[in-house]
Amino acid sequence: MSNWKDILLELEKGTQRSAQKKDGVWQVNTHVKKAILEAFSAGEITEYDGFIDKDTLPPQSFSTERGIRVVPGGTSVRSASYIAPGVIIMPPSYVNVGAYVDEGTMIDSHVLVGSCAQVGKKVHLSAGVQIGGVLEPVNEAPVIIEDDVFVGAGSVIVEGICILKGAVIAPGVVLSKGVPVYDCVQERVLERGEPIPEKAVVVPGSRPVSDNLPWAQNQGLRMNCAMIIKYRDEKSNASLALEAALR
């Protein structure tokens, strides 16, 4: 098996991934996550230009040959993450180790793409989106965002949530394993950890507190949730079209 140095190089080239879809199911590559952890353990603190970090995980540098736009203003992309040709990164943004960002994706200002997160083709991560990292435990799936997903400004997606192809996440939605998702179209509650369905349009919502908190009920308090209010159609596709001039 390759040592951790080889795996980190392969991650940066996109020939290795911390998770990938096999036979329609996302699977974690635990050996890749172990290699990243080994790199942290092997690294020594060193001084770079303006910051301090492990010498095994320096920031990436970019050139026009890579076909990636990294707009100036404070963006940092850590080594051992893959940025495909055609990706645009607006400042300031941060892409952490082990992440995979596929072709044509837009990473807008103040976006975090956490460790080992998997982001598909032609995804739009709007301003202020936070994609959580899942490096440990090594068998836990990272956050996965499939092709053609739109994530609205200020949304937070953590704890290995998976969003399937073509879904739309409205601004301000919080998705984690502890936040229930109500499918108002299919009239059901998604199972804990169940992927957000293809082409689902998800908006922020609220729900009454549970029966075992009577005082909170009496105060009229409510808890956060997410709601699927429709599934994407041609009208919503048109409203989400990106200006060609941005690319």
Task: Report how far residue 212's alpha carbon sits from residue 210's, in angstroms, rounded to the nearest whole number.
Answer: 5
Q: In terms of pLDDT, which residue wins out, 212 or 197?
A: 197
For domain 4-176, give its CATH number from 3.30.2000.10, 2.60.40.1840, 1.10.3720.10, 2.160.10.10. Answer: 2.160.10.10
How far is residue 90 CA from its own chain's centroid? Answer: 16
pLDDT above 80 for 126: yes
For 218-227, the pLDDT digits (tens) are: 999 999 999 9
Question: Would you list the domain boundaries of the chain?
Answer: 4-176
Identify the band that residue 1 occupies on the pLDDT scale cut at 50, 70 and 90: very low
Range 114-130 average pLDDT: 98
Q: In terms of pLDDT, which residue wins out, 205 or 238?
A: 205
pLDDT of residue 125: 98
Other beta carbons less than 10 A from residue 27's beta carbon: 12
For 166-206, the pLDDT digits (tens) are: 999 999 999 999 999 999 999 999 999 999 999 999 999 99
For 83-113, the pLDDT digits (tens) are: 999 999 999 999 999 999 999 999 999 999 9
How far is residue 39 CA from its own chain's centroid? Answer: 22
